[in-house]
Every structure is written in structure tokens, then in C-alpha cells.
Amino acid sequence: MAAEMVTGVLVSTFLRRTIDTLASRLYDIFHQENHKKQLSNLKMKLLAIDVVAFEAEQKQFTDPQVRDWLLRAKDVVIDAEDLLDEIDYELSKTQVEAESQNASKKVWNSLDSSFFEIEFDSMREKVIEDLEELAIESDLLGLKKGGGVGVGSGSGSKVTHTSLPNDSVIFGRDDDKEFVLNWLTSDTHNSLSILSIVGMGGMGKTSLAQHVFNDPRLEEANFDTKVWVSVPQEFDVLKVSRAILDTITGSTDHSIQQEVIQKRLKEELMGKKFLLVLDDVWNERPSKWEDVQKTLVFGGQGSRILVTTRSEKVAVTMRSEKRLLQVLEKDYCWDLFAKHAFENSKPQPDSDFIEIGKKIVEKCNGLPLALKTMGSLLYNKSSLLEWKSIMKNEIWDFSENESDILPALRLSYFHLPSHLKKCFAFCALFPKGYWFDKEWLIQLWMAQNFLENPLQKKSPKEVGEEYCNDLLSWSFFQQESRFGGEKCFIMHDLLNDLAKYVCEDICIRLGVDERKGIPKTTRHFSFSDSSFDGFGSSIDIQKLHTFTPTDGIWGWECKMSIGDLFSRFKLIRVLSLCKCRSLTELPKSVGNLKHLRSLDLSHTAIEKLPDSISLLYKLQILQLNHCEELKELPSCLHELNNLRRLELVGTGVENMIAYLGKLKNLQVTMDSFQVEKSKEIYFQQLGELDLHGSLTIDDLQNIENPSYALEVDLKNKPHLVELRLEWNFVGSSSVDSEKAEDVIENLRPSKYLEELSIRNYIGKQFPDWLLHNSLPNLVSLKLEGCESCQRLPPLGLFLFLKHLSIAGLDGIVSIGADFHGNNSSSFKSLQTLYFYDMRQWEKWDCQAVTGAFPCLQYFLIENCPKLKGHLPKFVALKTLRVFHCEQLEALIVSAVELRLQDCGKLPLERSTMKNLTMDGQGMAASLVAMVGHMLFDTSLEKLSICSESISDDCVSLRIFPLDFFPTLRTLELIGFPNLQMISQNHVHNHLWHLEIKKCPNFESLPANMHMLLPSLSELVIEECPRLESFSEGGLPLNLDRITLNNCFRLVGSLKRALGDSPSLRSLTVEKVEAECFPDEGLLPLCLSKLTIKDCQNLKKLNYKGLLELSSLRSLGLWKCPNLPCLPEEGLPKSILVLFIKGCPLVTQRCHKEEGEDWEKISHIQYLSIYQ
């Protein structure tokens, strides 16, 4: 084990093997010993440096001279790799030329004279000279050969910068947590309070904040909004303000002006009580914080900011209270360490391991991250000697300054195998907090030759997966699901610091690392700005191996020409122009990038690839995803014998099938293939491709011979995990169901398929491979529009099926026990189940089925008009939605959320439901019964009832008793013809949204609602003509938004009902009959947003009525077709946002610059004007 650590620190197994291979190839070509001897000499010089490099790695943290030596040694080794890469390219190029010219001798002689006598010798001599100098210096520095400890593995804990904690328990922080929670939930007269959680790196500040942020007791504070922002180390006022705004709104703001962002943020927070967590703040400059804070002070009373920081100076800068985190107490330290070192150990650990573990815990000195890291490191170490080695290692004695935690992290780094150290250090290319996709990272490693596989028993992807899993288990990576369940990796900031430290200038992040200039030793370069201006003069561009953007959500501009950019590269291996908005044509000079291994042109507007791309003999990865203008690939692409991965998701390429099968090691990712008539040959050739990811095969009706489907050989494509099979018979004159059955039978997928969709299949029965449960790993299944199928497969037998959707199967009349597979415990893993558009379905025979659907949480059944009888009993159901099932008469439900629409007579049993929605015709009989039944339900939080089209005789509800629903938060009553009032005698603290629509006889809101509904923040009144005024005493003080539709008398009483309350911010008025609006003195002066909708008679906006609204910031005009123009005086200068839609006369006058009203609105910052 020690020997493994002695070598390979700098000189990888791959590099040594490459030297031997090239030496052998050169000898076979030239039959001379000199080149072979020269390469052998190079290998020996490299190994002489490599054997002392391990000690240099340990000393680099304490000895600056050793650190400088090690960094120069890494640079020279990379120079040697570049030299060998040049040789390999020339040999590969010459071999291709020799084979094409059938004149190998002449070409080999040309290689000998043009390359080896000129370039090779000079490059080799320079590398040898540098290696000899390094060898001499290593002796002077006292670096010794050999030494080291074993390599181990472990299981990693997870750290994240989102609001969600990774661990369910936080050790030793009970008092701290109670302190913060009490501070957050206590009453205060301050509009804004700040608390800083202060502690050194790895103390658990973020983890504490996460647990507090997600604690249910926080609901007591009644925050209107909760926001979590991970603050970048470089505290940029614009970026921090934008991050807060984007998190609140849930969308990305594109503005680049600080003033604009902060005004929007002010509007979003105005009067709202908020909790803002600013995680990991480093800024100690008061002026920067004041620029951010000035928009936050407009929040509602009791707003809080919770800060985590390593520096007490940050707390002083922010003028905050502070809570200092101390190291964990001894018992908690052991609990945390043991959780990660011994978790799930069988048998229990030996007492000797426990004794050593306790000594290691002592050396961690109470630092939570160190305890987790060391516990994870030791998890899979079974040797007592390895535990003792770690315990005795003197690396623990490193510096006790700001980076007290780093000795533990460094120790973990030292115990990584050399190949993982390179992979880890390479991740310094990513900015802090950067989420990276595992597959993408593996591709980058592969392109850099980091993936070592000396025995050649695994594919590069398998090796990369192993590397990722190792780094994950040792906590160098943390894994978490992001949008759509996508698994991503992230590194903790401290580990990012460590990666940057060990690679220093080899990896440079533009805008972060180059403050002192970009050194000539830089090999990997990334940037995250929206534009790239160039490199400057301090970097040797020709040495770059990597050029990539890292934050291109919205794309970026290349300010220099792409051709000029290419001309600067000589040794580039990874080149990403992904989302480069200025790239429309790929220059022919791309063929000069002879060392290129990975080329990403995704999300660009390129229309074709130049034939010169065939000169990229080393190219392994070509990504063309979402190149929508790209219609064909060059015919010479099959000449790229090293191409391993081709990605064509979202492209219009049609010709790639004919020749790609010639590349036997190529993996192809393509999202769709359309079968064309008389072109089935291309469909057959899918069988030659190693397909990965997901695939839609469309227009399967065009297959004339079902044997063609067999040749696609889907059953032997194990990496195709998502498959959609679709028929399209629109406009087709004939349908052959038997042929369709043969086709789908021959399209049997592999047993590794996870997601399957069959759409518009016209066969009468499903394929045998679905009937006989031949897809054991299936997780998701959709069967849609298969109108001729008369029975369903036994889907209950699919053990891992989580999501099932069945729609448009008009041949299904009854579903019986065969659907469950005659299994008493069917659908064991199913979580979501959809049935819709089952127009002939009459019966679900489920009475004899027991124990089914034990995990089902979401069930939707829609448009099944003939279905009668009972539904199964779902024991874990959270949401049930039943729409347009008029014959369904019996419903047994226990769900948190229930929505019913057009469902006839449904007697509801008492349940644990919190949300109930009922609407549609045909529900008259059950409606009154439902209300009566729910009178004593005390758990309901949302009640929405729409009873339109119900006759007076059917509905007798005249008074809605709000007191019977004490926990209600949302109440919506729509279409009650006889409803007159809402009664209430007791204070209702929870209701925040009240909506009454289309109730023609409604005439009274709850009396004294200003006192009885203190939490009400949103009120909607529509089409209630008899409601002429608000309740005596006025409206609740917290009321923030009001919508009044066809209730002009209410608009007139609004100002009086609000009194002096400044809480109302947003008012929407619809169907106002007046020709001029608003009159002076009509509207509350506190309004910041006014929307005028669907006012057919409106012919004039009253400038004076608008001008007196001094707080007005946003004005919206919708569907006012007769409004001829804006006020002659223009609009008030206070307005920052103007939205106009459906006002054709005004829109015509507001055309930019040329419109007659343009000058009236040109000062407004945000304009949205639509026809």
C-alpha cells in the first residue's frame, strides 16, 4: 500500500504507460534505438522527481520553498505530457495519411525529418533540463524518497449551501438552536433585526441555520416570505441584491443596473415581514453592506436577517447581534464522529478501534466538519494499523490560524490515491457553490487523461463513476437532487479552498483568481461572466488545456472573433463554447486544434460543421445538443476513430445514422428519431449505435416490414434508460393493427429500462414483454391513446414502478384483478397514479384486492364519465383529484388534499383532509350535504367550492358559518345563487385569503372583520352586485391586496373602509362602467400597484386621480379597447412599471420613439406593451 503512494504523485500510470507505448511504436517504425532510448531517459528523469513528490506534498503546507518546487514540478510534468501528446498526434496523423495514400514508407520518412529532428529534440531537451534542475533542488530541500501512509476509503457526510439540511439531527447545538429560534419568534418593535452566527470554518454555522430555517416552530413568527441566499465571498452589491430578488420571485432578473434591481427588491419586500438568511458572509466593508441593506429596511415590522460568518468583524459591520459558536462538547463530538465512522457496523466495532477513535476525536478539537470528515475517512478502514497511522500522523500539528480546520481536511487529501488527488484538484476550476453534473465531470476527467485503468477491465465511464463515488464517500463531494430530481455534486467552500491551494495557478477562474495576473503555468481556464473579452497579456495561451464557461444559464458573448480565439490555442484539450450567443459558424481552423479531446458546441446557432473537423484525431467527445439550426453532420465524421461520445439532443440532424455505426466505440445520445416512409434503412441502422439516455421513436406506422424493428435491437441497449414509442395515424387511410403488434413486439427494450411511454399504439393487445413483466427496473410507465387495447397488463407486479399514467384507452371497459397481477400486495412502490380520458371504463373491480397501493400519495382520475362504484382504499394518500366522473357514487377517501369536479353524488366520509376543492355541474345534491358534514371539521385549511349552474331549488345555503372552520387559511366561494352573507362571531387568526365570486345575492361581509380577521391579506370580490359597502369598522389592518370585479360601489367605499391604514399595496379593479377613472379622492393614497381591467367604457385616465397616489409604482391597463390615449399630462413620475395589453388605441400611440404618447412613458424603467 505504501509503495502505491510513493510513486504516481506526479507521474501517473497512464503517463508511464504512454512513454512505453510510444517508444515501442517509434522503434517499430524507424527500427532505431535512439528515439526509444530518449524516451526511456525521459521516463527515468520523471520517476526521479516522482519518488520525492509525496514528501513534498506533505511539506508544501508549511514550507513555501517546497511548495514552489512542487508547483514547478507539476508544470514540468505537464510539459512532458504535452510532448508525448505531440508525438502521439504526429504518429496518428501519419498513420491515417499512410493508409489513405498507400505510401507508408514515404510518409514515415517525412515524419522523421520534419518532426523528430526539429521539434521533438528541442522540446525533449527542454523538459530534461527542467527535470534535472528539479532533481538538484529536491536534494537541497532535503526531500526524501518514499514514505507515506496507506490509501483508504470511507463514506462521506453531506454538506450543502441550500436551505435543506442533509442530516436529520444536529449534534451539540440544542442551546444555540433554541437561542436563534427564540430570537426569530419573539415580539419586537423593530422593523428589521439582524443576528450573526459567528464561528470558524467547519464549526457548523450553516448546518445550524438550515435546521432553524426548516423548524416547524418558525411558523409561529408568521413570516410572509422566507429567503435563503448563499453569499459569494466577493461581496458584490448587485449580485447579492439580485440573488435575494431572484429567490423571492422564483425567476431570474436580467437587469444589470443596481438601481433597477434594488427598486424591484424594495417593491417585493414593501410591508412584508420576511426572514432572510445570508449564508457565509465575508464582507467587512460597511459601505457595501449599507448599499444592500437600504432596500431591506422597507420590509414589514418584525423582519429578521440571520447571518452566518467566520468573522466577528462582519457582525460589527452589519451592526448585528451575534451568537458565537463554540467547539462541541466531548460527548457530542464522539456521537458525531461515531455516526460517520461506525454507522451500520456489523458486528459492533472492537474496543481497540473505539479507543483509537476517541483519541482521533480529541485531535479534531470539537470541529464538526473535521469530525465528519475523519469519521467518513475511517469508515471502510478495517486495519488497526491504518487507524493508528492516522492518529499518530504529525500533520495534525499544522497552523492554528484562520484555517484551523484544514489540518483534518489536508489529512483526508493526503490519504487520497494520486489519481483522485488530480481529479479533486481539477475541481478548483469551478467557483464556490457551483453545482456540477457527474457525467459532465467524468467527461472532463477523461479528456484530461485523469482516468487510469491499467488492466483495461473497465470502461472510462465506469472508472469515472468509481472516482466520483470515492470522492463522494470521503466527503470531498456532496450530492443532492436539484430540479426534476437531477443528481448533482457540489464541494464545500473549504474543500474548494483546499483544491485551489494544491493546484495553485494550474486552474484559474476569471474574475476570481487572477487579481495578481494570470501566470504562464495556467493550464485550465474558466469564466462565469456573460461575456469574454480576452485573456490579457500575462497568460501563455498556447499552454492551455481547458477553456470553459461555468455559469452560462443565459449564454455569453465572445468579444474576440472565434477564429482569433482558436489561433491562440496550441495544446487545448477541452473546449466549450456552450451557449456562446455570438457563435454562428465554426471556423475551419478548428482542424488545427490537434490535441482537442472534448468539443462542446451546444446551444449555439451553428448550421454546419466544417470538414476540417476530421483532422481532430484525438477527439473523444462532441456535444451538439440543442443546435437547432444544425441539419446535417459532415460525412467525414466517421474518420474520428477515437470519438467515444456524440450528443445530439434537440438538434434537427437527419443524416447521422448512415455512417456512425462504423465507430464501434461510439456512444450516441439523441432524444428523438422519426421514421420516414421508404427510409426504413435509417431506422434499421439505429441497431448499429450504442444509444444512451432517452429516445423517442416517432411515426412507427411508417414501418412496412416489422423485421426492421427487430434489427434496431433495443433489447441489447442497456444504457438506453428512457424510451417513448409513438404512432401517428392522422391523415392515414389504413391502419394495420396486426403489423403494429408485430412492430412493438420486436421493439422489446432491455431489462435495464427505467421509463417507458407508449402512445397512440393501435394494436389490440400490449406486447408480451410488458404482459410478462420483462422490465424489472421500470420506474415510470405511460400508456396513452392505445384505443384498441381491451385489457391492461399486470402492472401491479412491477416492483419498482413509482409513476403510472393511463389515458385514452377507450377499449377498456373493466379493470379487474389481472391489473393487480392477482397479487395481494400489488403496486408496492407506486407513488403517483393517473387515469384520464377513459371514456368507456365502467367498473374497477377492486373489492377483493387487499394491501394494494401501500405507498400511493397522489391519485388523479379525470373524464371517466361511465365509471361507477368504489375506488380502492389508499392508506397513504395525500392528494386525490376527481374530475368529470358523473357516475361515480361512492368514495372512500383519507387524503390531505381533495379536489372534486363534476362528480355527481359523492358522500364524503370524515377524513384528515386539509384542502378541499369542489366545482362543476352535477354536484348539487352532494354540495349541501358536504357543507353540513364538514361543519365540525377542525383541520381544514383550504376550502374552495364552485357551484355554478346549480338551480335555486338545489342550493339553500344562504349563510356561510365561518366559525365552524377555525383553521381555515383560504376560503373560495364561487357561484352560490342564494348566498347572502358570511357569519362570524369569533376571532379567526389563520384566514389570509378570502374570495367570493358570482354570488348575485351576496350582500354582507363578516361584521367587524377588521378585528375578527386580523391575518387577512388578500380579498377578491367578483360579480357580487348587491354588495355595496364594506363592513362597519373597516377592513383588516394587514390587508395587502384587493381585487374588485364589477363592484364599482365597493371601489367608492374603499378609501373610507381602509381609513388611515397604509397596508394596502395592490388594487385591481375590473369592469368599471365609468368613462373616466379614477376620480380624485377615490382611491387609497397608500397604493403602490394599480391594475385596471376589462373596462369597455373607459375613455379617459384621470391624471389628477393618479397623481395624488404618491406611492404608486406600478400601473397596468388590460382590455380597455376604447381608451384612446394616455393623459395629456402624461403619467406620474413615481411610476416605474407600466403594463399595457388589449388596449389597441393606446398601444398604437406608445410605439417606441415614433408613437404620439412615447414621450409620456419614455422615463418609465419597465415597459411591457402588447397588442
Question: Shortest CA distance to 376 belongs to which of 392, 360, 398?
Answer: 360
Where in 832-901 does DSSP place strands (E)?
832-836, 843-844, 858-862, 879-883, 897-901
Q: How far is CA 969 from CA 271, 276, 940, 1064, in A?
A: 20, 24, 8, 19
Question: Shortest CA distance to 621 belongs to which of 576, 659, 588, 590?
Answer: 576
Long-range contacts of 536-542 (CB under 8 A, 24+ apart): 538/514, 539/508, 541/568, 541/569, 541/570, 542/568, 542/569, 542/570, 542/571
pLDDT for residue 501: 83
The four Cα atoms 380, 361, 370, 480 give a dihedral, to 10 degrees, of: 50
Q: How far apart are CA 580 and CA 685, in angstroms?
A: 33
Q: How far apart are CA 1039 and CA 246, in angstroms?
A: 25
Q: What are the backbone angles phi and psi of residue 961, rounded to the nearest 5°?
A: -85, 95
pLDDT for residue 912: 63
Q: Is 190 exposed, middle or buried (0-12, 13-18, 19+ CB in 10 A)?
A: exposed
Q: Left, alpha or beta for 731 (phi > 0: left; psi -120 to 50: alpha)?
A: left
pLDDT for residue 682: 73
Question: Shortest CA distance to 1087 belongs to which of 1062, 1105, 1070?
Answer: 1062
Is the N-terminal amide bond of 1078 cis, ω within 30° of 0?
A: yes
Question: Shortest CA distance to 507 belongs to which of 515, 519, 516?
Answer: 519
Q: How far apart are CA 1083 and CA 1074, in angstroms?
A: 14
Q: How far apart are CA 359 and CA 368, in angstroms?
A: 15
Q: pLDDT tens digit string along 586-613?
A: 999 999 999 999 999 999 999 999 999 9
pTM of the model: 0.67
Question: Shortest CA distance to 756 belongs to which of 793, 724, 726, 786?
Answer: 724
pLDDT for residue 936: 47
Q: How far apart are CA 22 and CA 15, in angstroms?
A: 11
- Read off the C-alpha cell for 495: 474543500
Asked whether 257 and 274 are in contact (CB, 8 A), the reply is no
Count of CB atoms situated within 10 Å of the CB of 691:
22
Question: Shortest CA distance to 72 belongs to which of 423, 448, 519, 426?
Answer: 519
In the three-class reduction of DSSP (H, G, I as helix; E, B as strand; rest coil), residue 964 is classed as helix
pLDDT for residue 349: 74
Q: If you classify domain 174-324 with CATH, what class do you get?
A: alpha beta
pLDDT for residue 476: 75
Pairing of strands 487-490, 303-309: unpaired
Q: How far apart are CA 227 and CA 563, in angstroms?
A: 44
Question: Shortest CA distance to 321 belongs to which of 335, 334, 309, 339?
Answer: 309
Q: Which mean pLDDT values do the consecutive 10-residue runs of the chain (1171 residues) have?
A: 48 75 70 76 85 83 85 88 85 70 50 59 85 89 64 33 77 91 89 87 85 90 91 84 88 78 90 92 86 91 90 85 86 86 70 82 77 77 76 48 51 76 91 84 91 76 87 73 70 78 83 65 83 68 88 76 89 93 91 93 92 92 92 85 91 72 86 80 82 92 89 93 90 75 94 95 92 90 93 91 95 89 82 94 80 89 87 82 80 68 61 69 46 54 72 62 86 88 88 92 87 91 88 84 87 75 84 89 87 93 91 92 93 91 91 85 84 71
